[in-house]
């Protein structure tokens, strides 16, 4: 015969299990709408998109390693959404700001996280978003416009919002902006000068939007990601990438392109054009048919799968590449 206390233990164990299961399911349901293929080029082991481990997503030291930006100092390290204050005087006041900032709490129940105070920069966006050093985090904040940003912003994350357009004035004067991440919004329009005049911009991330034309890019751009939009070849300016001598990653998969854009700068390492409508190509698209000694070592990752093109029909188009493109042969 089991004593009453024993039964109590068994009962509470069962109850505990019952409570634990829905909590896990709930967390799964809260996963943002982007599926993991959106981030296919990132290290998925470290890049689960649940907001529960928001801290891991924002570990920029991991992120930058992937792109081998050896000289792009200084790195910013963000351990968790709420930074561990080094100085007790900078401890955020939990009572003060919770009323006006409904969206930035991580769903794991870590409690309200007020914006980190930046002296002299009481911008509204730092109450709505989270400003940490030169990074501004505005993910999943119901934004319909680009928020006003502090003048020294270097990294902007405004993923999973409802932003519909980017205007010429939105980033004006932000000369230190290096990365703009607008993944998973509703952007169907970007003014010609929205990004073109940003002298430090290296990464422009626009996957999962509604663009039908590619915005103009500054010469400093290293990585452009406009996957999962609606861009036809007519939405690219002629020779749009020719003068972008820093461009290494050009990701335009899942659009409506009919042609491989040319010319491609020598700096290019990764060209993703899978799941478009490319049927044919020129023999000179990747390699110079007049120069049989040419070696194009950098361009080692070309994806043309998911297009109607039969790559067997272009036997002389790939001789300079270190690796054949992925696609139908
Ligand atoms: C591509 O073209 C080659 C040469 O005409 C042909 O042998 C091959 O079967 C084609 N491949 C596909 C997937 O259609």
pLDDT tens, 159-170? 999 999 999 999
Mean pLDDT, rounded, for 221-227:
98
For atom 11 of ligand 1, the residue with the nearest CA is: 329
What is d(CA 72, CA 101) in angstroms, rounded to the nearest whole number? 33
> Ligand 1 mean position to 314 CA, how many Å?
11
> Ligand 1 mean position to 327 CA, how many Å?
12
- What are the contacts of 32-36 at 24+ separation with CB within 8 A? 32/140, 32/159, 32/160, 32/184, 33/160, 33/184, 34/159, 34/160, 34/183, 34/184, 34/207, 34/208
Mean pLDDT, rounded, for 108-137:
63
pLDDT tens track for 228-266: 999 999 999 999 999 999 999 999 999 999 999 999 999
Structure confidence at residue 123 (pLDDT): 63
Testing ligand 1's pocket by substitution, the residue of 279, 312, 313 carrying the most ligand atoms inside 8 A of its CB is 312
- Residue whose structure tokens are 């109590």: 8
For atom 3 of ligand 1, the residue with the nearest CA is: 312
Structure confidence at residue 17 (pLDDT): 41
| Number of Cβ atoms within 10 Å of the Cβ of 125 | 22
What is d(CA 265, CA 159) in angstroms, rounded to the nearest whole number? 29
User: Which range among 111-115, 131-135, 191-195, 254-258 shows the weakest confidence by mean pLDDT?
Assistant: 111-115
DSSP 8-state symbol, 146 = P
| 46 pLDDT more than 50 | no
What is d(CA 117, CA 126) in angstroms, rounded to the nearest whole number? 8
For atom 14 of ligand 1, the residue with the nearest CA is: 310
Q: In the beta sheet, which residues pair with residue 326?
A: 303
Q: Identify the CA nearest to 58 among candidates 36, 74, 37, 82.
A: 82
Is residue 177 within 8 Å of 192, Cβ to Cβ? no
For atom 9 of ligand 1, the residue with the nearest CA is: 329
pLDDT tens track for 148-158: 999 999 999 99
Task: State which ligand 1 atom lies nearest to the alpha carbon of 311.
Answer: 1
Mean pLDDT, rounded, for 120-136:
77
The pLDDT confidence band at residue 138, using thresholds 50, 70 and 90, is very high
> Ligand 1 mean position to 312 CA, how many Å?
6
For atom 5 of ligand 1, the residue with the nearest CA is: 313
Structure confidence at residue 292 (pLDDT): 86
| 190 pLDDT more than 50 | yes
Task: State which ligand 1 atom lies nearest to the alpha carbon of 328.
Answer: 13
| 189 pLDDT more than 70 | yes
Q: What is the sign, positive or negative, of the torsion defined by CA atoms of 281, 285, 290, 294?
A: negative
Q: Which helix (H) or strand (E) holds 61?
A: helix 60-65
What is d(CA 298, CA 96) in angstroms, rounded to the nearest whole number? 52
> Ligand 1 mean position to 310 CA, how many Å?
6
Termini Cα distance of the chain = 73
The pLDDT confidence band at residue 114, using thresholds 50, 70 and 90, is very low
The pLDDT confidence band at residue 127, using thresholds 50, 70 and 90, is confident
Structure confidence at residue 122 (pLDDT): 52
For atom 7 of ligand 1, the residue with the nearest CA is: 312
Answer with the residue of higher pLDDT: 30 or 283.
Answer: 283
> Ligand 1 mean position to 297 CA, how many Å?
27
Instruction: Please give the structure tokens belonging to residue 77.
Output: 């390290």
> Parallel, antiparallel, or unpaired: how do β-strands 165-166 and 249-251 relate?
unpaired
| 308 pLDDT more than 60 | yes
Task: State which ligand 1 atom lies nearest to the alpha carbon of 310.
Answer: 1
Testing ligand 1's pocket by substitution, the residue of 304, 310, 316 carrying the most ligand atoms inside 8 A of its CB is 310
Is residue 53 within 8 Å of 44, Cβ to Cβ? no
Instruction: Please give the structure tokens belonging to residue 292.
Output: 């049989």
| 58 pLDDT more than 90 | no
| 71 pLDDT more than 90 | no
CB-defined site of ligand 1, < 6 Å: 310, 312-313, 328
For the chain, give the longest Cα–Cα distance. Answer: 92
What is d(CA 271, CA 269) in angstroms, rounded to the nearest whole number? 7
> Ligand 1 mean position to 298 CA, how many Å?
28
What is d(CA 238, CA 243) in angstroms, rounded to the nearest whole number? 11
DSSP 8-state symbol, 52 = G
> Ligand 1 mean position to 228 CA, how many Å?
28
Which runs of E-coded beta strand occur in the chain? 130-132, 135-137, 155-157, 165-166, 179-181, 189-190, 203-205, 223-225, 249-251, 270-272, 301-303
Instruction: Please give the structure tokens belonging to residue 7.
Output: 């039964």
Find the radius of gyration of the CA atoms of the chain: 24
| Number of Cβ atoms within 10 Å of the Cβ of 267 | 15
> Ligand 1 mean position to 309 CA, how many Å?
10
| 44 pLDDT more than 80 | no
pLDDT tens track for 3-29: 444 444 444 443 444 444 444 444 434
Structure confidence at residue 126 (pLDDT): 72
> Ligand 1 mean position to 319 CA, how many Å?
19
């Amino acid at each position: 015969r089991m004593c009453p206390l024993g039964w109590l233990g068994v009962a509470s164990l069962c109850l505990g299990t019952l409570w634990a299961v829905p909590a896990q399911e709930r967390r799964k349901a809260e996963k943002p709408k982007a599926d993991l293929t959106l981030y296919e080029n990132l290290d998925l082991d470290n890049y689960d998109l649940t907001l529960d481990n928001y801290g891991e997503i924002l570990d920029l030291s991991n992120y930058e390693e992937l792109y081998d930006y050896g000289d792009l100092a200084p790195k910013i390290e963000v351990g968790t959404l709420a930074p561990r204050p080094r100085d007790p005087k900078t401890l955020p006041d939990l009572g003060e700001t919770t009323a006006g900032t409904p969206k930035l709490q991580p769903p794991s129940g870590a409690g309200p996280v007020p914006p980190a105070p930046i002296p002299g920069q009481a911008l509204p966006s730092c109450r709505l978003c989270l400003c940490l050093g030169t990074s501004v985090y505005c993910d999943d904040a119901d934004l319909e416009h680009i928020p006003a940003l502090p003048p020294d912003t270097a990294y902007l994350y405004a993923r999973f919002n409802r932003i519909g357009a980017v205007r010429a004035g939105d980033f004006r004067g932000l000369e230190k902006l290096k990365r703009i991440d607008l993944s998973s919004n509703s952007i169907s329009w970007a003014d010609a000068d929205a990004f073109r005049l940003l002298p430090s911009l290296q990464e422009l991330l626009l996957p999962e939007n509604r663009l039908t034309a590619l915005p103009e890019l500054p010469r400093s751009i290293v990585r452009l990601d406009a996957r999962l939009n609606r861009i036809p070849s007519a939405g690219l300016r002629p020779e749009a990438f020719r003068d972008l001598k820093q461009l290494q990653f050009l990701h335009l998969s899942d659009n409506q392109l009919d042609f491989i854009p040319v010319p491609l700068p020598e700096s290019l390492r990764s060209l993703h054009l899978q799941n478009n409508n490319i049927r044919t190509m020129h023999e000179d698209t990747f390699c110079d048919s007049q120069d049989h000694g040419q070696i194009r070592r950098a361009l080692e990752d070309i994806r043309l799968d998911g297009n109607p093109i039969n790559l067997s029909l272009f036997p002389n188009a790939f001789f300079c590449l270190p690796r054949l493109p992925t696609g139908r042969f």
